[in-house]
Amino acid sequence: MTEEEQAAAIAAAVSEATAGLKAKNAELLGKVKQLQKGQEIDPQTVIDLENKIDKLQTDLIASQKLSKDSTKNLELTQKQLQDVTDRSNRATIDTELTNALIGAGVKEDHYLTAVKALFSSQAKIGEDGKSLIGDKALGDAIKEWGATDAAKHFQSAPGNAGGGSHGNQGGTPGGQKTQTRAAFGAATPAAQMEFIKSGGVVTD
């Protein structure tokens, strides 16, 4: 049963119970009024009816409280389920992203942390339960990124890093920001991510 169906079932059950109590309450009140109009009134009958009315009113209050408690418990359970789902999704994305980046050649821990921080904010779990980056499967998106020039600065494969791979030992064309591997590795993950986003290049 879905959460919406559970909520609807609870609301229907409480509505049915309270409606019956209200109807019975009104019926007994009507009988009391009729007896009070008559010339001959049995005191015990009136007492019995008033006791029944008191009990019905007590039951009605209890039913209304049960409705509030059930609704509160349902909302709490839904929130707990969402929290568990969110944690599970993040763990799934983290694992798949790590594996995909290692497969794309990003194997040094400080590079892996920085690139994961960049892509994790873009990753999500689709309706079919599969991890996505944008509208592409996470693995496909990372594989495509791994074939770009930007990825070469973070890959461990020989010949894919350093200024020599770009034919420019002293820097990069167009005044592009550069940073040595040592300096990049010493920076915080947030600083590394900002450097990557700005188009910076890591050099030896």
Residue 72 in any domain: the answer is yes
In whole numbers, what is the pLDDT of the chain averaged over residues? Answer: 74
Q: How confident is the model at residue 143 (pLDDT cuts 50, 70, 90)?
A: very high
Same domain, 70 and 39: yes
Q: Cα–Cα distances in Å, from 42 out to 6, 30, 52, 80, 93?
A: 48, 16, 16, 57, 76
Residue 95 in any domain: the answer is no
Is 177:200 a contact under the CB 8 Å cutoff? yes
Q: Tell me, what's the pLDDT at 95? A: 92
Structural domain that includes position 171? 104-203
Percent of residues in the chain assigned helix, strand, coil, to nearest 5? 70, 5, 25
Residue 98 in any domain: the answer is no
Same domain, 56 and 113: no
Percent of the chain's residues with pLDDT above 90: 16
Residue 186 in any domain: the answer is yes
Q: Which residue spans within the chain are E strands per DSSP?
A: 123-125, 131-133, 136-137, 178-180, 201-203
Boundary (domain end) residue, out of 87, 113, 148: 87
Is 131:96 a contact under the CB 8 Å cutoff? yes
Same domain, 33 and 116: no
Boundary (domain end) residue, out of 32, 54, 87: 87
What are the pLDDT digits (tens) for 29-44? 666 565 555 555 567 7
d(CA 59, CA 21): 8
CATH code of the domain containing 68: 1.20.120
Please count the structural domains in the chain: 2
The two tokens of residue 66 are 């049960």
Residue 166 in any domain: the answer is yes
Q: Tell me, what's the pLDDT at 204? A: 63
Residue 155: pLDDT over 60: yes
d(CA 135, CA 128): 12
Higher pLDDT, 164 or 123: 123
Same domain, 150 and 71: no
Q: Tell me, what's the pLDDT at 59? A: 79
What are the pLDDT digits (tens) for 57-96? 787 788 878 778 888 888 888 888 888 888 899 999 999 9
